[in-house]
Structure formats: C-alpha cells, structure tokens
Amino acid sequence: MPQDDDLRPETVALDALIKATVQRVKNQPDAASPDAMLFVGNWHQAIPALVIQDPVLEPVDKLVWMVIMLHARETGGRTAFPSYETIACKSNVSSTSTISRAIAILRLTRWLTLCAKVRQKSGRFTGNVYVLHDEPLPLADALYLDQSYMTYVQESQEHHHARVRRIAQAVVDTLDQDVQQGKDLSNSGTAIERRLQAANVLGSVSKNRDKDGRYFTFNASVIRGLKNAPETRGEDKVGQYQKSKTEEKEHYSSGCSSHYKKTTTTTTTQNTNTDKKELSESDKSSKLPSDQTLIYPPRLSDNQKILADRYLALVAPEDRQLLLDELQGRLESEQKGMKPVYDELRFLHSLCKAAQQGEFVPNLGIKVVEARQSRRQSVEPVEDDAQKAKSAEEQERSKAYGLEQLAKLRASLDLEDKSQTD
C-alpha cells in the first residue's frame, strides 16, 4: 500500500471524502436507500436546477436549453444564436424538426424570449434577437419584451405538432383560470414568491398530490392536465415532416440563421387539451364573440388587446365598450396633468372588477363617447351630401348621353324628316 507521501493530494482528499461519506450513509436512519454518489471532476458549468426540474419541459427541451446556454457561455453571453444543425449536433438529436419544436416550447413557456426583429433601412429582414433566461419570465415582462407573444400563443394552438398545441393551450388555460379567479395578470409577485410556489408545486407533482399552486407559467392543475393527457401518436408523419421542413425553410430564408440571430443571457431576480379543435370550458368563456366589434384605446399593444378580451369576456356585453372608453378617457387625462397610468391592463382589470360587482359608473369615458359621436355626425352628413351630388351628376350625364345617342340613331334612319312629313 503506497504511503500518503506517494499519492497526489487530490487522492488523499478524495479518500477522506469517501470515508466521511461512508460514515454519513451508515448513520442514516433510512436503510432502504444506502447508495451514495460523489463527483470528483471539475465544476465546469452550472445549470439552473429549475431547468432540470421543470415539470412541463421534456428531456429534449431541457437539453436544447442547455446547449443554447453553453453556446452563449463560450463567447461571453453575446453571440449568434446557434443554427438548428448546430444544436442538433451538440445535443445528439438527429432531427432539426425536433429542435424547432423544442425552441417553440421554450418560447411558449417563457424560458426563451424573442425580443426584436432586426431590419435594415431598406426594410430587408436580417435576423432576430433572443434572450435566454435562467427561470421562466413573468408574463408582464414577456409582454413588454416580446410584442407578439400572445399572438404567438394563439397561433401555436394551431401548430402541426400536438405537443406544441397542448403547451399553448395550457398557457391559455392558466390565463383563463387567473382571470376567472379575479387575479391581476400583470402582478406576478416577487422572485422569492415565484420560486417558493414553484418548489411547492414540484413537491406535490413528485408525490402525485393534488395541490394548488403555480410553477411560473402554469398553474398546478394545468400541469396535472398536461401530464395526464394521452400522447397522440397517430399524427400524419408525412404531413408533419413537410410542415417542419417548410418551417425550417422559412426560418433560414428570412435571415434567421446562426449568422444573424443574437442571444443574451439574463437572470430574472428583478424581474390540455390534446386536440387543437377542442377548447376548454374556461377558454370558451374567456373569449369575446366574433361578431362583437370593440374600439380599443390606440395605446394598447396587440398583446394587451388579446388579454383585454379575456378580461372583458367576463362582464356584460353592454359594458365592454364603456369600460374601454373609460380607460381611454383616463389615458387622455394624462395630458391634463393627471397621474400617468403605468399599467393599462391593471387599470382595465380594476374597471372589470367594478363592473362585475355592479359598482362601475362611467366618468371619464363619457367625453370619449361624446367625441366619437360628434365625429360621426360631422362626417356622415358630408359623405351623404357628396354621395347624393355625385349620383345626381352621374344621372344627368347618363341622360345627356342617352339623348345624344338617340339623336344620332334618328339621324341615321332619317326618322326626323319622316316625322316632320307625317
């Protein structure tokens, strides 16, 4: 047996660590799991535990996130976004369509954010700017950074892959549950609160317990629905392949290759249905009728309009436009020195709650309605008079043209002389 002086210090330290581990295992009261594990390599990379434990992401989704993170770290965090081929090669995934699906799911679950589309002065599209997060981004932050996030969620409900559709529907179901429970979608709580809720959900999911809570983007009940949803294996593989190839072609032809895409890494400390044609009950109740046309404040973004519809669906139809007008009146009052509204959706949420409780009384929106009616009255008569004048002029021209043609016809037939003779 070699002496301690003949061994490397690392080996001696490892031997001491092993002995300590053995003693610790012996002292454990639970004899059913006596196994222990030691890591003796270098701690090269740190991967957030939340990625590993995420109950919604599948292994390939987590692996793609890790590969993107490793690619970013190799160049200091500000680098070109890796191509599908690069990710597939580093993750040992044979299909680029699988990579495309994983990236779509990462964006839906808000682990990855599409923040900007870069165009030249000529208008030519040159690429996207992505941000990779160490935990799912809160909804308010995602809406601010990704102006088309809600549109993307809606479009993903019609995705060719069933799992992407289920994830998109799960995002919508969680939003609907929050709205029906009277929660403010803009208020995601502090980072500590979000992480504590996530830890509680992970504990209940691992023990198969029905427990309320939230894992960042999803409510616990929605997560259980995703896990219990049957996998659809009978999809048209040929159609799926063709759609995935079309998607990849559009991806690269638009300039979204690794030469153009940028990615940065950030921390967020500051900040179930299997069929796409079937909607949950909450989804049905949280959508406005297609025949109802509403006038939104111009200040609302597309993201805000989609979420506003989910708030308004819970109030009486006759109150919806009044609430939007009240919001517009409040926004216009900022020009008169009133305190600015920093969160339009939160203000609309308070108006909807008041309407549900029968406490809403129009105030600032009255002038908005009067101004709209005044504009209509000033425009419609002018349009009517102009239309009438135009119609009368056209009639006179038609009459004159008809008489002219009739005179020519009579002249050609010598009807005029004949009539004089008679």
Is it the case that residue 382 has pLDDT exceeding 80? Answer: no
Q: Specify which residues 336 forms β-bridges with.
A: none
Spatial separation of the C-alpha atoms in residues 243 and 153, rounded to whole Å: 18
- The candidate with the shortest Cα–Cα distance to 275, out of 232, 319, 311, is 232
CB-CB contact of 133 with 112 (8 Å): yes
Q: What is residue 299's predicted lDDT score, i.e. its pLDDT?
A: 93
Highest mean pLDDT among 27-31, 132-136, 225-229, 382-386: 132-136
For the segment 200-253, what is each residue's pLDDT rounded down to a tens digit? 888 776 666 666 788 898 988 898 888 877 655 444 444 444 454 555 444 443
For the segment 99-120, what is each residue's pLDDT rounded down to a tens digit? 999 999 999 999 998 887 777 7
Q: Mean pLDDT over all residues of the chain? A: 77
Spatial separation of the C-alpha atoms in residues 34 and 25, rounded to whole Å: 6
Give me the amino acid identity at 258: S
Q: What is residue 190's predicted lDDT score, i.e. its pLDDT?
A: 86
Q: What is residue 254's predicted lDDT score, i.e. its pLDDT?
A: 39
CB-CB contact of 152 with 103 (8 Å): no
pLDDT, greater one: 157 or 409:
157
Q: What is residue 270's predicted lDDT score, i.e. its pLDDT?
A: 45
Residue with tokens 């549900």: 356
At residue 272 the predicted structure's pLDDT band, cuts being 50, 70 and 90, is very low
For the segment 13-50, what is each residue's pLDDT rounded down to a tens digit? 877 877 787 777 677 666 555 566 666 666 667 788 89
The encoded tokens of residue 265 equal 């890494």
Instruction: List, as one string, the DSSP characters of 154-184.
Output: HHHTT-SSHHHHHHHHHHHHHHHHHHHTT--
**pTM for the full predicted model:** 0.70
> Per-residue pLDDT averaged across 154-174, rounded?
94
Q: Which is it for the CA torsion 217, 221, 227, 231, positive or negative?
A: negative
Phi-psi region of 414 (alpha: psi -120 to 50; beta: other; left: phi over 0): left
Domains in the chain: boundaries: 1-41, 50-266, 287-363, 366-421
For the segment 301-360, what is each residue's pLDDT rounded down to a tens digit? 999 999 999 999 999 999 999 999 999 999 999 988 899 998 899 999 999 999 999 999
Q: What is residue 224's predicted lDDT score, i.e. its pLDDT?
A: 86
